[in-house]
Amino acid sequence: MDHVVVVGAGLAGVRSVEALRAHGFAGRITLVGEEPHRPYDRPPLSKAVLLGQADSTVVDSDLEALDVRLCLGIAAKGLRDGVVETTEGELDYDGLVIATGASPVRLRGEGRQHVLRTIDDALALRAQLVPGARIVVIGAGWIGAEVATAAAKAGCAVTVIEAGEAPLSAALGVAAGGHTIPWYGKAGVELRLGAMVGSVDPDGVTLMSGARIEADVILTCVGVRPAVDWLKGSAVAVEDGVVVDEHLRTSLANVVAVGDCANWWSRRFGRRMRVEHWDTALGAPDTAAATLLGEVAVYDPVPYFWSEQFGHMVQFAGHRGTAERLLLRGDPLVDEKWAVCWLAADDRLAAILTVDRPRDLVQGRRVVEGGQRLDVTRLINPAVTLRDC
């Protein structure tokens, strides 16, 4: 293999370049990215950047030392066997890494709607977060909650509109997500639950019920879709992202996929997974590079995610799909620090959500990995360390 092309210059793309070199690949590497910026990290965009604590989040990677040809401001628009078609012509490859991430969903309507995916989005939004500005955030998911935190801190009048019955309900379910409802009121943020937005208008939003909410700034935070349109008509199978096996191999020879755009087979969970989390973009490239270079490697992590919202460090590990019941460690109404555990029928831990309990998270992730049964009477006692349950 002489030439590897990596399409997508986000975290997963950069880590793929690093992993190829770490696995001893000495041939040419070309990294193609649609954005004009050097690769940067996205998690700080809704945290430090919006709070005015950082202007740049460039990934700490010495691309010159990695001897990579960096093609920025260039988009891939098609794929044939051995050839990537780009906006600047064709690129031949022997091996290809697809790392094109995801793009935000937008809603109907004529009004300006901000989204938050890029550094440019973050800087444009930050400029609007001024005291007294009326901000409507559509979607109380992870990013919506972080933006609401920053906007409230900046002195804006913030309304969050959520279609579900609780914040984070899509990710955590209503019961667990519901424990975060009081955080909104405490921060002075108005939270409207069970409200569907019909359209985004120039001066606010109209709900499906016909009600109007006026706003100076509207941010749509209702999720993302894998950025895989450029693969239409190619031999790469796509279904909710690029379909890959446990080695991160696509349906086309010598092509692997990583990060937000990859839908991989998990042995551990016995199902396909597409996880839009930083830790996946960080970890998957090592397996993908090994696979591309003919080594045998399997990607099968316990997914991990964190969020910083309303002064709390919220962390999640596992996959709650197989869980039968949910238990609390601590009482969110009384304790500042608490956790939610999702248990399978045989009392094995399927997933854990921790609020300001980082040790629970670390130990919980190991317990999910290890698959041991837990003593439920000990588990509900937050004074007992999780690894002793």
Residues lying near ligand FAD in the complex (CB under 6 A): 7-13, 32-35, 42-43, 45-46, 75-76, 99-102, 116-117, 143, 227, 230, 259-260, 276-279, 281, 305-307
- What is the spatial distance between Cα 255 and Cα 292, in angstroms, rounded to a whole number? 7
In order of 50, 166, 194, 201, the CA distances from 219 in angstroms are 13, 19, 18, 12
HEC string for 148-160:
HHHHHHCCCEEEE
Contact (CB, 8 A) for 141 and 168: yes
Closer CB to ligand FAD, 42 or 319, in the complex: 42
Shortest spacing between CB 86 and ligand FAD, in angstroms: 7
User: Burial, 218: exposed, middle or buried (Cβ in 10 Å; 0-12, 13-18, 19+)?
Assistant: buried
Which residues have C-beta within 8 Å of that of residue 253, sequence separation ≥ 6?
Answer: 81
Shortest spacing between CB 14 and ligand FAD, in angstroms: 8
Shortest spacing between CB 23 and ligand FAD, in angstroms: 19
Nearest to 98 by CA among 118, 68, 76, 65: 76
Nearest to 52 by CA among 193, 144, 154, 181: 154
Closer CB to ligand FAD, 247 or 374, in the complex: 247
Closer CB to ligand FAD, 141 or 213, in the complex: 141
Closer CB to ligand FAD, 33 or 178, in the complex: 33
Shortest spacing between CB 32 and ligand FAD, in angstroms: 5
Shortest spacing between CB 53 and ligand FAD, in angstroms: 15
Which residue's entry shows tokens 């950025």?
A: 227
Contact (CB, 8 A) for 160 and 187: no
Closer CB to ligand FAD, 84 or 290, in the complex: 84
Closer CB to ligand FAD, 16 or 379, in the complex: 16
Shortest spacing between CB 294 and ligand FAD, in angstroms: 24
Please state the length of the chain.
389
Bridging pattern class, strands 134-138 and 217-220: parallel
Closer CB to ligand FAD, 25 or 304, in the complex: 304
Shortest spacing between CB 165 and ligand FAD, in angstroms: 24
Dihedral sign for Cα 184, 186, 189, 193, please: positive
